Structure 1
Amino acid sequence: MRAIMPLTHQEISLRSVRRRDIRTLERLLVTDREWLRPWEASTPGIRYPLDVRFMVGSLIAQARNDSGLGLIIEYQGQIVGQINVAGIQRGSLSSATIGYWISKKVAGNNITPIAVALTIDYLFLEAKLHRVEIDIRPENTPSLRVVEKLGLREEGLKKRFIHIDGDWRDHRIFAITSEEISGSLLNRL
């Protein structure tokens, strides 16, 4: 998938992650460690330091081979979070999964719902995907509020789905298809 031009709504914009974002992302992820740790994927039996350089390189490689897309969330010109589009499938599936995080200092300002709506609009209208899924831990109230605001439908529960913060965690499944939106998902906000 080619790098996307900035997607913008008011003071919020999204753009493809770049290598020069590494230091800023690392600073944000370290500063908000306790805020983000309960929701971040981990590897069973391994505690490893945050490797933002590897993460950014991996996201850029995934964009090149059209299997994923890393997006930077900017608010008032400052990097405040990230959206990852993973598992892009073409053909008969034509789907992807979205994950996201936002800095604690700007959480609760409707930035994440707008950024997720911009991303889904891009995936449906430009990338021509059919279905987008978001998987959320049942305890993650702020993320559950995002999918509620956007009107994504709940499809069920994936038991012990992703290893997060040292254990296998359940996730509620939310999804939307292109037929469920008339125009832009951003219009739902």
Structure 2
Amino acid sequence: MASHKILVIDDSKVIRVRVREMLPPGNFEVLDAKDGEEGLKLIRQARPNLIMLDFLLPKVSGWEVFQQIQSNAELRSIPLVLMSGRKEEVTEKIQEPFKHFAFIEKPFEKKTLIEAIKLAMKIAPKAPAGAAAAAPAAAAAAGDAASGDSSADVQALKQQMAKMQAEIDGLKKQITQIMTFIKQKMK
């Protein structure tokens, strides 16, 4: 069972799925929200170990979610990766250098994602007394991924290859059936 919860708040299903696929299998439970309103509910209910927040969101904007996180000491201690395809919109509201969160520009690659997660874990404000201490464990897991948790990566690739081979075999069978059907019709 995954011991680290990562909440991805993004209106793009592609980004939510991409983040899930880039993280090492088994290390993380990835929760996702398609807008800021849903994201805020999940932050309060699930208490994630890391939040990945798109800056431009429907219903409640990423900027508003960011402000609510910053106004609550307990939520502020959750490591945060802010995402946007347009960095200038972020810097209009939040001046660089970004101090207590990591920023990642979309689109991004796996290495960039892992580096942003590690940075967010490192620079997040310390949790008030009594808050969950799971963030360091999540940082260690992300560090393992970045340092080449190659056996897990290899295993995941082998599983993907097996699945793809099964799909190829199924398609070959369908093509054979179609060819047999066409030959029968041509007689």
Same fold (TM over 0.5): no
Q: 1 or 2, which has the higher helix percentage?
A: 2
Q: Which structure carries more relative contact order (alpha carbon 8 Å, separation 6+)?
A: 1
Q: 1 or 2, which has the higher strand percentage?
A: 1
Q: Scaled by the length of structure 2, what TM-score is found?
A: 0.30
